[in-house]
Amino acid sequence: MYRILVIEDTDEHRENLSEILTLNGYEVDTAENGKIGVDKALKERPDLIICDVMMPELDGFGVLQILSNNHKTADVPFLYLTAKAEKDDFRRGMSLGADDYLTKPYDVALLLQTIERRLLKHERLLKASAQHAPFESFVNEAKAQELLNNLSADRELRHYQKKDVLFEEGDYPRYLYYIEKGAVKVFKSNEDGREFIVHIAGPGEYLGYLSLQKNDHYTESATVMEPSDIRLIPQDDFYALVYGNRDVNARFIKMLANHVAEQEQMLLDLAYNSVRKRVASALATLYDQGKGNIHFQRDDLAAVVGTAKETLVRTLSAFKTEGLIDINDGQIVVLKAEKLRKMPN
């Protein structure tokens, strides 16, 4: 029996959809907001996710972004269900990797047909992958997932404090890092020592796999941003699994592709977007990643945006005056994520 996770903040819609799916033979789990939905999806990987877009705590775009970047849920079919039918929302959802997009009020027959089609397509892809994998004993997708989970299980767990260094540009890789708790900034530095942050990694993410795959020096540095628990996976164990299992290797290639796409978008933003829009986009992205109250140092936020600290502070002050954010004891609280996302240039 297929298990479907429904993430919907409206009680009536969530209960109605759950009842429809249950009556049609599906096992259903529900979540009343995006954060709870992400937690449930990571703990018990569903066969398909149906998610509303406009929700408190964490909206549907944030949910998909987090799950797409986590190896446990990156391949789960994802269906948006929302009352909004704007073309910009549709394009944004599909560009993040959604499999389909239906608007409320929905036609029950069309909804069920869409779910069945996505599940069957996903099953065919898994079977095709199994038929062409090099080692028959490892071709099963469930087995690949189990192997990937075991990669970080029972490895050395180290506790890092804020500003601790994981690795520096030019170092030779010895480990694959898996973040269980906390946040790590990945950045490049120019000749003057100025940082440009290319990625902020959180729980469920791996770091250092590109340099390990290339068997080359790190091209970036990584520093802990808040107290973090990180597992260290020896490079030999990483090589044994990645080069011994096609499906696991494909997962890391997908993570790498997402990372490259993220960096390309950041470079485009630097080239074409105003500081105001870049700050708004950075805050919305951190909000989508489930960071909650953003308590990173202003220097780090400025490095994400690619601007001076003084300019960042002025922009944050303006956003607070406009009611887009609040600032309590140095922590930034996002109040209107959607307006930040759609900030004009």
Tell me what the pLDDT averaged over the chain comes to: 80
> Does 273-341 match 3-132 at the fold level?
no
pLDDT tens sequence across 93-127: 565 667 777 877 788 888 898 898 888 877 776 66
The answer, yes or no, to whether residue 136 has pLDDT greater than 60, is no
* Residue written as token pair 């708004």: 280
Look up the pTM and report it.
0.49
Q: Is 149 helix (H, G, I), strand (E, B) or coil?
A: helix
Half-sphere exposure at residue 234, Cβ-oriented, CA atoms within 13 angstroms: 6
Architecture of the domain made up of 273-341: Orthogonal Bundle (1.10)
Helix (H, G, I), strand (E, B) or coil at 43: helix
Q: Select the highest-mean-pLDDT range: 21-35, 285-299, 321-335.
A: 21-35
What's residue 138's pLDDT?
A: 36
Selection from 17-26, 48-57, 143-152 with the highest mean pLDDT: 17-26
| CA 156 to centroid of chain Cα atoms | 24
Tokens of 333: 């609280």
**Other Cβ atoms within 10 Å of 163 Cβ, number:** 10
Options 3.30.1340.10, 3.90.850.10, 3.40.50.300, 3.40.50.2300; CATH for 3-132 is: 3.40.50.2300
pLDDT tens sequence across 41-98: 988 889 999 998 888 778 888 888 888 877 778 888 898 887 755 545 555 656 566 7
> CB-side exposure of 160: number of CA atoms within 13 Å?
26
All structural domains of the chain with their residue ranges: 3-132, 156-259, 273-341
Residues 274-302 pLDDT 10s: 888 888 888 887 777 665 566 677 888 88
Cα separation, 63 vs 56, whole angstroms: 12
CATH of 156-259, one of 2.60.40.10, 2.130.10.10, 2.60.120.10, 3.30.920.30: 2.60.120.10
Position 241 scores a pLDDT of 74
The pairing of strands 156-160 and 78-82 is unpaired
